[in-house]
Structure 1
Amino acid sequence: MPSTQAPPGEDLAASTVRTVTLRLMPLLGLLYLIAYIDRQNVSYAKLEMVGSLGLSETAYGLGASLFFLGYFLFEVPANVFLERVGARIWFARIMITWGLVTVLLGFTQNAAMFYVLRFLLGVAEAGFFPGVLFALTLWFPQTHRARMIGWFMIASAIANAVGAAVGGALLGLDGVWGLAGWQWVFLATGVPAILMAFVVLAVLPDGPETAPWLSQAQRDWLSRTLKAESEAGGHVDHGNPFAALLDKRVLMLAGIYVFLPLAAYGLGYWLPTVVKGFGVSNLTNGLLNIIPWTATAVALWWVPRHAARTGAQGNALTWHVVGPALVGATGLALSVILPGNAVKFACLCVAAAGTFSAQPVFWSMPGTFLRGATAAAGIAAINSVGNLGGLIAQNAVPFIRDQTKSDLVPMLFLSVCLAVGAGLMFVVLSALRRDTERRGVPERARAV
């Protein structure tokens, strides 16, 4: 009777991935949770800050969007620095600086100061998200990355849920110690980032070779596996990492990625305002906003898991990006068209889940053709250009609202953008798949 035990090599592979996942992903997820709260806290502070500073919705949206300009300008250099100095030092630097800027936002005196600090927050945080994506290419084989990115991005959904509850509660501290509620939003969300920087310095390894919780056998397996994938064909490592900015595959992915952050940040930024329009209190607003981000967390877990379990390849893999995006676009459109506040809110919950869950499988793709410093620069380039969608959204959404006097009509704009983006994604990702096949990359190197 044949043995039912797995070969030793499979035991080693499973134990290595499991150990890295348990040791690394909770910490990275917690860091992203804090980062995302600090990025999105303006959506709750806005409920009182607009009136306090005497700003229009459009002017406030401009200030909020300047985060993405700073992010865009410094993203690629920041990720190249990360590749050279290591994740531990660079992530700690990022967290200290973004925490300090967030605290300073709590003492904003006028529009000009708000604009400068939001820009500096983008500069401070530049390199974190793409830095984690690059770090995952050093820790996980390609077959596991989409799921790890999904687990990592669940932190963004949790951050929105936690930020919703905490943001609504902090606004209720208006007048405590002579501070306005919106000031408490910034102060209470900035301090954790500063404190976590010291945790990062203490516990985060720069790479597998310095991880004390990996055995030598596990390090050797991981090194062999990643090297074999890298040498399988199709990977590029330019002598100058900035040459990745001219790689046509990087440019194509950057161009289509714009639509996902545009919809995601537009929805995340404006959702508290929409719910506020239903006539609820700040605390109830925060509690209700937990619901869409809980749905998003479930979708972020399920979509990449489904892609991996079904062995999705080719167009099937592409549909794990395009499909959720189309669901998001439909939900956004229906939130404007269908009557009833409860129905509209349900549509926005579906839209949030679809918009965010399109991203994990998308982000597994650059690692199939980039490596080394080129991967760091290429991933950062895709993310920095794509996040200009956030700049567009946080200007366009309040502008449309000011022009139409409707909190929900801007969702129609986001829906159209996301639907167009989904169509372009299908074309571009199919073209990239054919390019990969022409280069002769084995199927195992292209798996999720």
Structure 2
Amino acid sequence: MTIEAVSMTTDASATRTLYSKVMWRIMPLLLACYIGAYLDRVNVGFAKLQMLKDLGLSETVYGLGAGMFFVGYVIFEIPSNMLMMRVGPRAWIGRILITWGIISALTLVTTSANMFYALRFLLGAAEAGFIPAIIYYLMIWFPSSQRGKASALFLAGIPLSGVIGGPLSGWLMSALDGKAGLAGWQWMFLVEGLPAVILGILCFVHLDNSIDAARWLTTAEKDKIRADVVAESRDKPLVSARDGLLDRRVWILSFTYFFFTMGLYGVSFWLPSIIKDSGVRDPLSVGLLTAIPYTGAFVTMILVGRSSDRHRERRWHLALPALVGAAGLVVSVIYSQNTVVALAALTVASSGILTCVPQFYVLPPAILTGAAAAMGLAVANSVGSVAGFISPYLLGYVKDLTGSTNAGVLVLSVALIIGAAMVFVTPARMVNR
């Protein structure tokens, strides 16, 4: 082996060690934050198993209430990211967590459809800007060659919230039902809202706003990360906030994400009900079974994220999981009355659908930097969040109309296929980095 080859091997090893150090420093807390975020966003799917009967609400009211989260989210998403650029990601991420934790816990006081709508709207407003703020934060610390794995680890909070939250929600609703005069679903909102407040406080203490502020890095390590991030930003075409808001490439990516999130939130909000409709009645059993699809999704997200970084290929690593997710949804509909087959199909579907999220979030940073990144990520997440309103409402309306979610689930599979096709509108040379 030549001296040059030895030097390259040593440099590569040092780079891996450095980014592993960064990963272990910031990712555990960010991952915990997203587990809390997604749990508080979708635990209403478990509350539905009891609260609809307790409050006399219809399936359509539930679907609209679940979707109202995204009305607040979309309205405040871009302003939230503009404020984040002013006050810094650490303070803004911490503020978001504390606010939404309090509002999520207050959902226990729901007594009517209008109150349910209002609290879901406020929860969305409180959480607005969270994902773009985190993705922007990851751009500070990781160049594109490392970002697929970093994004996958952060967004693994989605399936992990299901693995943890499903059994936890089911247990809380079963074990605490009637304690201190509160229903099980009320206890669930209270207990699951408090961790976000604690995590928000930890963000103020643990996170650094910039590379320069990181006392846990040496000067050489700071220079290396800074050089890697600066080097990759030189050839990015979009740099200003105006670029991030108005460029057509941002909007193409945003509408691509819309179709993926149709599938994501359809599964997230309705998975407990779909499992219940297959013949499982006990809330704890439903919670335990929902952990199976989310476990499969967690493993798939990490493996695909690593493969995407290793091969520097982004489009097929996004489109193929979407197609797999669509196929899984179709099979779950065909065998909707067979719990074993339906659950296996939903595991395949969840693995594909949830993998789309981190793989999508590798694409915008490939063409955006600086203020354009903050604005473009907010635009993409806002457009995607519109699907978060449409998808649960659609399934609720279809179930009230037909007595089954099957037709709505088939619509979600079509949305995933459209999203997979739209991925290829973006040229490979722009995103395969």
Code of the aligned partner of 2:418: V
Q: What residue number does 2:90 align with? A: 88
Paired residues for 1:66-77 under 5 Å: 66-77=68-79
Paired residues for 1:282-361 under 5 Å: 282-312=283-313, 317-338=314-335, 340-361=338-359
Query: Structure 1: which 5+ residue stretches go unaligned?
Result: 437-445
1-structure distance, mates of 2:205, 2:357: 31
Match 1:191 to one of 181, 190, 194: 194
Q: How many residues align?
A: 428
Native 8 Å contact 2:66 2:269 kept in 1: no
Cα deviations by residue, 1:93-132 (Å, 9 ceiling, x for unpaired): 1011101101110111211111111001001001111111
Cα deviations by residue, 1:57-91 (Å, 9 ceiling, x for unpaired): 00111011010111111111111211221111101
Match 2:360 to one of 356, 359, 362: 362
RMSD after superposition: 1.6
Q: What residue number does 1:442 align with? A: none
1-structure distance, mates of 2:228, 2:432: 14
The Cα shift of 1:235 comes to 3.1
**Residues 2 and 242 of structure 1, relative CA distance in 2, 3 Å threshold:** closer
Code of the aligned partner of 1:165: P
Q: What residue number does 1:443 align with? A: none
2-structure distance, mates of 1:85, 1:395: 35
Native 8 Å contact 2:65 2:116 kept in 1: yes
Cα deviations by residue, 1:6-25 (Å, 9 ceiling, x for unpaired): 44543442232111101011
Q: Secondary structure at the match of 1:387?
A: helix
Paired residues for 1:30-179 under 5 Å: 30-172=32-174, 173-179=176-182
Cα deviations by residue, 1:121-179 (Å, 9 ceiling, x for unpaired): 00100111111111111100111111111111111100012111111011111111110
Native 8 Å contact 1:142 1:368 kept in 2: yes
Cα deviations by residue, 1:332-357 (Å, 9 ceiling, x for unpaired): 01111236221111111100000111
Query: Structure 2: which 5+ residue stretches go unaligned?
Result: none
Residues 1:221 and 2:224 are matched in the alignment? yes
Code of the aligned partner of 1:367: P
Identity within the alignment, %: 40
Paired residues for 1:268-283 under 5 Å: 268-277=268-277, 278-283=279-284
1-structure distance, mates of 2:162, 2:403: 26
Code of the aligned partner of 1:200: C
Residues 1:374 and 2:372 are matched in the alignment? yes
2-structure distance, mates of 1:378, 1:369: 10
Code of the aligned partner of 1:410: G
1-structure distance, mates of 2:275, 2:88: 42
Code of the aligned partner of 1:153: L
Code of the aligned partner of 1:183: Q
Native 8 Å contact 1:331 1:350 kept in 2: yes
**Residues 310 and 10 of structure 1, relative CA distance in 2, 3 Å threshold:** closer
TM-score scaled to structure 2, two decimals?
0.95
TM-score scaled to structure 1, two decimals?
0.92
2-structure distance, mates of 1:379, 1:131: 8
Native 8 Å contact 1:77 1:377 kept in 2: no
1-structure distance, mates of 2:42, 2:104: 11
